[in-house]
A and B are shown apart, each in its own frame.
Chain A
Amino acid sequence: MKPGAQPSDKPAYFEDPAMQALYQMVLILGEELAATREQLHALIALCEEGAVPSAEALEAFVPDEQFDLERADWVARLLEPLEQMSSQSGDA
């Protein structure tokens, strides 16, 4: 039986290791918010159909393409400061 390999240690990207931890936290929060948005979107769409949605209906719900565009848009907004930081750095 093989226990498996462990991912290698990653290089330090910042002088202050707290920065790295902070970015991890931002991603985890973003992921959790995305999961909640997904559930909320399904819930609202099903409620608009007039019935109290069941757990099964929630899981079976398939969002439309417009919602995927909204997902892409809010991730773009979340990462927008990266672009801004880059252009500020370029100006300096």
Chain B
Amino acid sequence: MTKPTAEMNRSTVHALSPMQSCRDRGRQSFIFHTKRQLGQFARSTLQAEFGKAQETEDAESPAASVVPLDKHPAFAVWSALNIGSQQQMWRALGDMVSRQAPALDEAAKEWNKAATKGSIELDPELAMPTYFANTAYHGQPGGYCLDRDSDDWYAGALQEAGGTLYSRGAGTGAKDSKGQAVLRFIEATFPRFAPQRVVDLGCGYGGQTGNYVVGFPDAEIHGVDLGAGLLRYAHPRAEALGLPIHFKQACASATGFPDASFDLVVSNILLHEIPREMLEAVMRESFRLLKPGGLVVHQDVPTQRPDTPAFQQWLSNWQVAHNDEPFWQCFSETSVPDALISAGFSSEDVFESYQPQIDGPLVWYMVGARKS
């Protein structure tokens, strides 16, 4: 079997990638540049106005509310354009994917039939947690739980296309990869670590999961997610890319795998998408799944950073109120190291770190533990 060596990032193209027509390119470029401009406006003008508002208003906790700018007219326009641009993004991408649905459906069927490397295990009886069933993350129509029929892969296609356009609009480069950032962190921190079995919790469309195949070519790689519509896209996508991944529909807090069955447990931007009790349950599941000597690494947005500027916190809070990120603030206020310790890890084995993006200006929060 040929081992995949290609880098899995925002520019990865595969058999299930929708073709961008000339009109699609025009529409998406407009959205991309609008997002870039609005981001730049936020970082310059809004940030300056935020500073002035902090000086003039008696804000007890400016970082925890949107109050300092809510009366500023430019804020209202910026918000309306920002949300309008997000809705526009989903409509443009939805049009592109839906128009090609018959061809993409054929491609999915073909790669499902040809599947020899990985597998997919769906559970039609699995009860969706209320938070998951009710959240249209980032405004994605239908959310990640969209599952209209037994062949529906739409949620996965939209998640990949939306994630790419949104991230690029936010300043992230086409070569960026959260999975590669985790691999780089593991290599630097645990240089001789060579897992035989890896599980990616909340794997979504499998975009990051593929990196663990490339990073650990001798390991058996598993991906777990609640969304059947995500996994129905992830599986043929991985097959088309030559990535042996075993996908399973399950909750990240109750995967159904045996105790001590993995050497490495990872997640990529899962923690800020789930409520606190679920985060704690995911930590307990991470502990249960790991063999002694195993490693867990959760990568997420860096809002945990104690020196996060007040304006950055304010922007994060804006996402909570305006962009279907209901658990972002809860994540910011939760101590993941404490949750890991409560789950059973020794405090001296717990770590947290901030690592640069592979291709972009941001840093990622890495938190995890080695199981003694």
Spell out A's residues near B (CB within 8 Å): 1-8, 10-11, 13-14, 19-20, 23-24, 27-28, 30-31, 33-39, 42, 58-59, 61, 63, 68, 71-72, 75-76, 79, 82-83, 85-86, 89-90
Contacts and interface: CB of A to CB of B under 8 A. Distances in A.
Contacts of A6: 136, 141
Contacts of A89: 72-74
A4 B76 contact: no
Contacts of B25: 38, 63
Interface stretch (B30-38, B194-202, B208-216): B30-38
B77 interface: yes
B85 interface: yes
A61 B34 contact: no
Given A23-B77, A28-B88, A38-B29, A1 B21 contact: no
Nearest to A13: B76
A28 B34 CA distance: 12
B45 to A, nearest CB: 5
Given A13-B80, A31-B92, A7 B27 contact: no
A76 to B, nearest CB: 6
Given A19-B80, A31-B92, A86-B45, A2 B26 contact: no
A90 to B, nearest CB: 7
B148 interface: yes
Nearest to B79: A13
Interface stretch (B7-15, B110-118, B127-135, B252-260): B127-135
B23 interface: yes
Given A35-B27, A85-B77, A89-B74, A5 B92 contact: no
Contact of A4 (B27, B38, B142, B150): B142
B139 A7 contact: yes
A31 B90 CA distance: 13
B22 A68 contact: no
A4 to B, nearest CB: 3
B49 interface: yes
A90 B334 CA distance: 37
Closest 6 A/B residue pairs (Cβ):
A4-B142, A38-B26, A5-B143, A34-B30, A4-B146, A35-B26
Nearest to B24: A35
**Which label, helix, strand, loop or mixed, suits the secondary structure of the A interface?**
helix
A36 B27 CA distance: 9
Given A2-B146, A34-B30, A71-B30, A11 B322 contact: yes
Interface string B339-363: 0000000000000000000000000
A91 B143 CA distance: 43
Contacts of B128: 2
8 contacts: A1-B147, A4-B147, A24-B80, A35-B30, A76-B37, A79-B37, A79-B41, A82-B41
A7 B33 contact: no
B84 A24 contact: yes
B143 A31 contact: no
Which range contains the number of B residues in contact with the other chain? 35 or more
B81 interface: yes
A30 B73 contact: no
B49 A86 contact: yes
A77 to B, nearest CB: 10
A61 to B, nearest CB: 7
Given A86-B49, A90-B49, A72 B33 contact: yes
A1 B154 CA distance: 13
B149 interface: yes
Contact of A36 (B26, B33, B84, B145): B26
Nearest to B19: A59
Given A2-B133, A4-B136, A85-B77, A27 B88 contact: yes
A82 B148 contact: no
A68 B23 CA distance: 14
Contacts of B148: 1-4
Interface in B322-346: 322, 324, 326
Contacts of A35: 22-23, 26-27, 30
Interface in B17-74: 21-23, 25-27, 29-31, 33-34, 36-38, 41, 45, 49, 52, 72-74
Contacts of A72: 33, 36
Contacts of B76: 13-14, 19
